[in-house]
Amino acid sequence: MTDLATRTPLDVPSLDVAAIRADFPILSRQVHGRPLVYLDNAATSQTPRQVIEVFDDYYGRYNANIHRGLHTLADEATAAFEGTRETVRAFLHAAESREIIFTRGTTEAINLVANAWGRANLKPGDEVLVSLLEHHSNIVPWQLLAGELGIVIKVIPVDERGVLDLDAYRALFSERTRLVAVNHVSNAFGTVNPVREMAAIAHAHGALILVDGAQATPHQAVDVRDIDADFYAFSGHKVYGPTGAGVLYGKAELLEAMPPWQGGGEMIRTVSFETPTTFAGIPHKFEAGTPAIAEVIALGAALEWVEGVGLDAIGTWEQRLLAHATARVSRIDGLRILGTAPGKAGVLSFVVDGAHSQDIGLLIDQLGVAIRTGHHCAQPLLTHFGVDATCRASFAAYNTLEEVDVFAEALERVIGMVR
C-alpha cells in the first residue's frame, strides 16, 4: 500500500480541485470582505454537500431510534446506521463489522480503551509507551490511569526533525510493557509514524498497540490488518464528516474480552434486580444509549465521498500544496518551521522571531485566512522544542496553490505589522 513517504505524482491521477470545491458550500463565503482561505483542516475539515444533505434526509424522512423498533422508520434508520458500520469496516479494511465501535470521536475511543481494556488488564508497575508526538487525548487518559492504578508511562523520544526515535523505542520495552499508544500522523508536526513496524516490535514483546489515526485517515488509505493494529481510532470531523461521530476499531478477540465502559440501554442482554446484568455482544456492548444516529450516517457519506475522490490522489495533491507552502514561507526572514520529517503529511507549523502566534492568527484572519495557533493539544512536544505555541497551516483536498500564495502574502504582510 502506497504511503505518504513513498507516493509520487505518477502514482495517482490528478484532482479536479475546482469540482471538489464545488461540493463545499462554505468555501464560497467571504470573511472580513475577502474570500475565505481555510487552512485549519487538521483541527476540523470542511464538509461537502453530500454529507450535509444526510441531515435533511434523516430528520425530514426517517428520524427514529434504532435497533429495537418494529416500524418502518426505525427499520430504515437502523439499516442506514448499520450500513455505515460496514462502510467503516471496508474503509479500514477490518475483518468484521462487529470490530467497529461508534464513539463521539478519537478522544472518546482512546478513553474507552483506557477504561475498559486498561482497568481490566493493567496492574501497578505495568508500562504504557506513549510518544512525545501525541495529542493530549492519547496522553491524559493514561496519566489518569497512572494516578489511579500505579502504572508507569514511558515516553518515546523524537529527534530534531520531529521523527520518532525507533532505536530508543525498542530500548524502552521491558517485561512489564503492556501497551504502546502512538499516533499514526502527528497533528502538530505532520510526522508520519512507522506504525506497522512499531506494531511488530510491540507484538514481539507481548504488548498491544493502539493507534490514533485521527490525522491519518484524511490523507492516506489505512489497512488495520496490514498494520496489525490492536486498536485504531479516528474522528469524523477530520475526514470531511460531522462532529460528534468517531470510530474505535478493535480486534474482535480483544473487544470480546473487555468489560463495558458505560452502562445503559442497548448494551445489555438482560437486566434484573435479582441476578447480574448480562451484556450484548460486540459492538453493541460498547455503545450505551441512543447514539448520534444522523452523525454516524453522515460519517458514512463522508467516507464514501473521500473514497470517490481517492485517498492516493488527495494525499499526493496535499504534498504538492505542502511543498509549495514550505518553499514560500521559507523565504520569510525570521520564520522557523517546526517538524521537518521526510514524507510528512500536509501540516506546516512555524514560529516567527519577535512575533506571537496569537497575534499572527488574529491579524491573518482579517485578511480572510484561517490558520490555527496555540499548542495544538501537544504541549509536551512544543515544550521539548522550546516554544509554547506555533502557527499551523494544514491542507485538504479542496485547497489550491493560489490559496497558498494568498496565505504566504498575507503572512508576510502580517509579520511586517507585528515585528
Give the whole-angstrom CA distance, residue 211 versus residue 199.
Answer: 9
**Active-site residue, from 12, 144, 370, 377:** 377
Residue 283 preceded by cis peptide, ω within 30: yes
Q: 55: number of CA atoms within 13 Å, CB side?
A: 12
Active site residue 391: no
CA-to-CA separations, 145 to 89, 213, 307, in angstroms, rounded:
30, 22, 37
- How many angstroms separate the CA atoms of 400 and 321, rounded? 7
- E strands of 165-243, at which residues? 177-183, 208-212, 231-235
The rounded distance, in Å, linking the Cα atoms of 220 and 85 is 20
Asked if 2 contacts 312 with a C-beta cutoff of 8 angstroms, the reply is: yes
User: Would you state the torsion angle of the CA atoms of residues 245, 235, 202, 146, taken in this order, to the nearest 10 degrees?
Assistant: -70
C-alpha cell belonging to residue 340: 521537518
Helices 49-61 & 293-309 angle (0-180, nearest 10): 150
Among the listed residues 363, 42, 67, 56, the one whose alpha carbon sits nearest the alpha carbon of residue 212: 42
Ramachandran region, residue 55 (left: φ > 0; alpha: ψ -120 to 50; beta: rest): alpha
**H helices within 268-310, ranges in order?**
293-309
Cβ atoms within 10 A of the Cβ of 269, count?
11
Place of cell 453522515: 298
User: In 3-state terms, what secondary structure has residue 17?
Assistant: helix
Task: Quote the cell numbers at residue 194.
Answer: 512507522
Report helix, strand or coil for 31. Answer: strand
H or E element in which residue 56 lies: helix 49-61
Are the C-beta atoms of 37 and 406 separated by less than 8 Å?
yes
Beta bridge partner(s), residue 374: 390
Query: CA–CA separation, 134 vs 143, rounded Å?
Result: 13
Active site members: 377
